[in-house]
Structure 1
């Protein structure tokens, strides 16, 4: 490997991360137009977002383990290919069921892709301090997708309709595939452990049934919601039993006995539960309640996402120097302050009052995100980087999927502004309280770095 190779690998892996995050945020600003075009209900719109998130979260962990077994380069290339083909299917979707199915396929591709990007970077930068710094770069460059998503999505929806937000993935995938073939080293298997097929299946069923149950309960309940709840409980019980007795569990119970590992992944899940849940409401608030266009909403969201781009590399360097505990606590408390201020919004609130909460929330996420990832990777042995990244991203995406389902169900449709804004107030305060409690757990259970009290 030449001296320049690690940097080229870092760039290509950041492109993969960019794609995955782009399709988390670019879809939100298109939902009102998409719903009107396809005649989709609020529950249908939740599934357009959650179909991606559920498939993504369900397979992330297995993808990390497969990468450890077969080599991460092979899995990353497969993920790019699946993601690109699914984007084509989303672009031509004639109805909501087709679109949801295509979004599920996109989630499969994203799950294959994402853990490998972080694992390949970890292999290219094996020294812990350097690893923490490049994780910050990875988070910062990948996070360009977060402000780019609403802004680019708003432009594309205004110019080419909602289908354009999926078509934009196709040329990016083609370029990334060509470059990845050339610069990512082949690598080799790092583990010969067999796949935990039962654990994978039961984990996926648990998450999908939970999401379905919450969405249906929020829109009238009925037999489907009850059936989904029963299936979710049974699948969860089966998953726990399988993992406890499997010789090669997908989610090794021994890892959860490490406080740093448990807290890092708990914080990751709660971070995305609150962030993606509130983001789902925020796009509806800006477009449906305040009657902004998709482009105006995309521009309005920039203060939430731009701090991630600016601060993530700085947080990565700070984490490499001080350890993850202090940045995690600072990020959680800053984001909590922004989320709590949302309770002061009304249907007619001017953007001058919307801006400060978004900026505080975004600054908190910019400080928090690299530290959470670094804490998870540092809490396991070097040979388990794929597993660690898979668990951490599974926690984040599972939290996000459940958050979208819960927050959308609690707030209800934005076409009823008074009830919707009231629900958004309550959820903003609840999320802030949850972030504060998580900061306290982090301060108690994440070990200090050398020289830190």
Structure 2
């Protein structure tokens, strides 16, 4: 490595963030872009594969169960290891863990692209989820360290949240285009050069964080991972024994954390009302938001009769404000704080969800358009604000675990919301029953977000 690179990589995050001069702004912008690229790839691979499942099943001769695990193998591992990935980054330095996450994610993507069978593809998707769990919390921790001043940090988090929303929106559309152009394997090959560029950027511009004297809480990491994995597995598969495993592991996690000399989840975070409140709201946001995306997708295609591509295009009126508002929200959070933006987004979402009561088997797209547009707008106001509220006031050396908790709340609750709303609406073949379930989803979602309004008012500064 050239001497200049060695000097860059030996600089601590704190010193880097306080360096003066015009070059700082450009370099920090490049760091933000690199971290956003990592988060974009992680989020994109949550949704981009869905549209390819029928093609993968036909080419690899796999059944429905294997196709489900091509998606769920990634989702379960990602949700269960986010907290551990953030905590390990706090101890070893987030640059190291981000680089490790990029490397594992890139190699696993190549393995997915070369997979000769469904079982091998599922295995590499699990490894890909492991890399993503290392990468995602580290991207947020690096950003908050490089932008320590509140207003700048809020703006950077708004950009980060906007890119996250763009990945969610772009996944199905990009997947459809790539499959049409070159087949399903390109969905994974495209990650490899992007990861290579990101790794080189990390080595050149992302400063090495200082290692701490704390030890890795292996017992806490293991019990947390088992509990979260069992919970998400139980929801996805409807396996009641997994619920018992999740509860037992959660009890073990609490016991380990109380007795540990250096717990992964420190007491100051557990006692913070704002940290707890912001993460509860983040979980409610994804529970309702991702669950609603699922049922609206089914409603457009199975009840109203639109094609898959047409149905994906009909979701754009909600995805566009979700993507565009997040950076704007970041600036507003920097000026006014997170609470007003969170309250505005939640109120808008409650009104949007209640509009679902107007939907019927033949009412048409325009009836539910206000629901999806206003829900996307509300989530655009919420996303950057809940992240800012969660990390605000957290000690700098705990940024990774704070990010891990926030991302875990959103990923796990999102997976649970998708499963729960799918159960409530049932099979869309029975249009009348499905629409009745859609009304229930609207009432439940509105009630949850009203609770989130109370939590926000009572806990967030």
CA, structure 1 residues 36+406, in 2 after alignment: closer, same or farther (shift >3 Å)? farther
1:431 matches 2:445: yes
Q: Does the aligned pair in 2 maintain the 1:72–1:120 contact within 8 Å?
A: yes
Task: Determine the structure 1 residue equivalent to 2:228.
Answer: 207
Task: Determine the structure 1 residue equivalent to 2:455.
Answer: 441
Task: Determine the structure 1 residue equivalent to 2:264.
Answer: 250
CA, structure 1 residues 24+346, in 2 after alignment: closer, same or farther (shift >3 Å)? farther
- The correspondence of residues 49-68 of structure 1 with structure 2, limited to 5 A, is 49-68=71-90
Match of 2:339 among 322, 325, 331: 325
**Distance in 2 of aligned mates of 1:201 and 1:408:** 30
Deviation at 1:284, TM superposition (A): 3.3
TM-score by length of 1: 0.89
Task: Determine the structure 1 residue equivalent to 2:194.
Answer: 172
1:232 matches 2:254: no
**Distance in 2 of aligned mates of 1:426 and 1:167:** 41
**Distance in 2 of aligned mates of 1:97 and 1:346:** 41
**Distance in 1 of aligned mates of 2:325 and 2:170:** 16
Task: Determine the structure 2 residue equivalent to 1:279.
Answer: 293
**Distance in 2 of aligned mates of 1:423 and 1:99:** 34
Deviates more, 1:356-365 or 1:104-113: 104-113
**Distance in 2 of aligned mates of 1:11 and 1:124:** 12
Deviation at 1:99, TM superposition (A): 3.5
Task: Determine the structure 2 residue equivalent to 1:363.
Answer: 377
**Distance in 1 of aligned mates of 2:416 and 2:313:** 27
**Distance in 1 of aligned mates of 2:425 and 2:48:** 22
CA, structure 1 residues 185+286, in 2 after alignment: closer, same or farther (shift >3 Å)? same
1:303 matches 2:306: no
Deviation at 1:158, TM superposition (A): 3.8
Match of 1:134 among 139, 148, 156: 156
Deviates more, 1:430-439 or 1:141-150: 141-150
CA, structure 1 residues 278+77, in 2 after alignment: closer, same or farther (shift >3 Å)? same
Deviates more, 1:80-89 or 1:437-446: 80-89
Task: Note the alpha carbon deviations across 1:253-297, whole angstroms, 9 max, x for none.
Answer: 442221101101111111112222232333333344444333223
1:16 matches 2:30: no
Deviation at 1:123, TM superposition (A): 1.8
CA, structure 1 residues 214+135, in 2 after alignment: closer, same or farther (shift >3 Å)? closer
**Distance in 2 of aligned mates of 1:432 and 1:165:** 36
CA, structure 1 residues 187+228, in 2 after alignment: closer, same or farther (shift >3 Å)? closer
Q: Does the aligned pair in 2 maintain the 1:206–1:236 contact within 8 Å?
A: yes
RMSD (CA atoms): 2.4
Task: Note the alpha carbon deviations across 1:106-136, whole angstroms, 9 max, x for none.
Answer: 2211111111111111221121221112111
Deviates more, 1:307-316 or 1:405-414: 405-414
CA, structure 1 residues 233+66, in 2 after alignment: closer, same or farther (shift >3 Å)? closer
1:86 matches 2:108: yes
Task: Note the alpha carbon deviations across 1:374-398, whole angstroms, 9 max, x for none.
Answer: 1111131233222211111111112
Q: Does the aligned pair in 2 maintain the 1:413–1:420 contact within 8 Å?
A: yes
Deviation at 1:351, TM superposition (A): 2.8
Q: Does the aligned pair in 1 maintain the 2:76–2:233 contact within 8 Å?
A: no
Deviation at 1:95, TM superposition (A): 4.8
Q: Does the aligned pair in 2 maintain the 1:50–1:404 contact within 8 Å?
A: no
Q: How many residues align?
A: 438
Any idea what SS the aligned residue of 1:144 has?
helix
1:377 matches 2:391: yes
Give structure 2 stretches of 5+ with no counterpart: 1-15, 17-22
